[in-house]
Amino acid sequence: MRYMILVCVDESVEVSPEESLPTAWVQEMDGRGVRKLGSRLRPVSDATTVQVRDGEVLLSDGPFAETKEQIGGFDLLECEDLDEAIEVASKHPGAKFGTIEVRPLWED
């Protein structure tokens, strides 16, 4: 079962690199074979949103949702079930200062 985890953080909150960098987590989860892919994302100041309306491409600067917490990174997991995905997500350092959303991939 594949899950995408979205690591949502408040970019205005200062967190030291020791607390926030998921290096050890990545190493552990890659080693276990549960993490297939993932990356930290550049801040929303570098984001562009794209919409097509009436055939016209509309661009705007910034993230799609004006919320306090923004997606700061993602990882694609291959887990046995939701309990394993929750366990993996709860070990991510971002869970301590941000919020992690666990979403199953749409697979038929």
Q: Is 104 in the site for another protein (CB under 8 A)?
A: yes
| Beta-bridge mates of residue 108 | none
By CB under 8 A, residue 1 contacts another protein: yes
What is the rounded (10 degree) CA torsion for 40, 47, 17, 94? Answer: -60
Nearer to another protein, 96 or 103 (CB): 103
32 binds another protein (CB under 8 A): no
Among 80, 96, 97, 99, contact with another protein (rule: CB under 8 A):
80
Q: Cβ neighbours of residue 4 under 8 Å, at least 6 residues apart? A: 74, 75, 76, 77, 102, 103, 105
- The site that binds another protein (CB under 8 A) totals a number of residues, namely 9
86 lies in the binding site for another protein (CB under 8 A): yes
